[in-house]
Amino acid sequence: MAEKKLKAVDFFCGAGGMSFGLKKAGIDVIAGIDFNKDCRETYELNTKAKFIEEDVELLKPSSLSSLINIKQNDDSLIFAGCSPCQYWTLIATNKSKASKSKNLLMKFQDFVEYFRPGYVVIENVPGLLNNPESPLHKFLDFLSENDYSYSYKILNLSLFGVPQNRKRFFLIASRLHKSIELPDPGNIRIKTVKDVIGAVNGFPKIKHGHRDESSFMHTCASLESINLKRLRRTPKDGGNRLSWSRDPELQLKAYINKDNCFKDVYGRAFWNKPSPTITTKFYSISNGRFAHPDENRAFSLREGATLQTFPKNYKFCTKNIIKAATLIGNAVPPLFAKHVGKHIISLQIAK
């Protein structure tokens, strides 16, 4: 008897990076769930899947069956849970706003326990594994107690063809296999910034503050005059703030006599290396090495999306730079999600 086609529900789906990648692998994505209404139009337009605007904290597992046609104990069902990760990030940020979402993994567990899908996938920041307060350890106990085999690791997604140095915690679990392995990237060539952006790749030169009203969204934020001066003094192709750290006009008070910390802020990306991790702040040069390798500006919205492996025709349905960057930076890179989907399909075939 032929195996049923794999299908997935994408919890905390955002702009649809995980869903889009799974669909490209050949998996039927039934729905994405997210409480952020700003995701709906982007998600539905690109994935063609149902968007459920619900707060997973408040949604009851039993109610999900009435919203979408899924059943308990379905061997062909995948639950992907890529919950908001700001609280567990290793980046030194104010965690107070993110504290409300720190235990969403336990709420996701309620859905896994109720439906017992054949497969479970989690992608998150490395801090989910490394922080002793993390709910991950309870979740792993739950998986073992419920006959799920699992495997997890901190992966650098550059090994899967994503052109950025993006380290992520990844877990795959299944109740259908006695043991389970992580996706193997094989011998994929590591891609660099030069491989995907720049004029030769369809990104014409623009100035800071440029607004692209087309769906391509080659739009970048404006720079204050002092930051434009700083960037003009920053060497091309990987330069950093140390080039102007002795200039009293340009040096930032926070970094006086602190040349060895946070050297990436105000820095330029390297052409021949993967980009830094694309965060929700990639439009701002003060938040990381997000300045263009040559041009005096930050990455554009489309450049950030391309570094995240969204196709160039993926439409982000907002004109707001901050909202668009949030959708892009929070996403699971679709190319990595496609590798995950292909891997699960191979497991299902071998079962």
54 pLDDT more than 80? yes
What per-residue confidence (pLDDT) applies to 263?
82
CATH no., domain 7-185+332-350: 3.40.50.150
213-260 residue pLDDT tens: 999 999 999 999 999 999 999 999 999 999 999 999 999 988 887 777
Q: Other C-beta atoms within 10 Å of 187: how many? A: 6
Does 95 have pLDDT greater than 60?
Answer: no
Asked whether the predicted pLDDT for residue 1 surpasses 50, the reply is: no
Residue 94 or residue 276, greater confidence = 276
β-bridge mates for residue 77, sequence order: 7
Asked whether the predicted pLDDT for residue 351 surpasses 90, the reply is no
Task: State residue 271's pLDDT score.
Answer: 98
Q: What is the pLDDT of residues 290-325, one digit of tens each?
A: 999 999 999 999 999 999 999 999 999 999 999 999
pLDDT tens per residue across span 101-156: 568 999 999 999 999 999 999 999 998 998 888 899 999 999 999 999 999 999 99
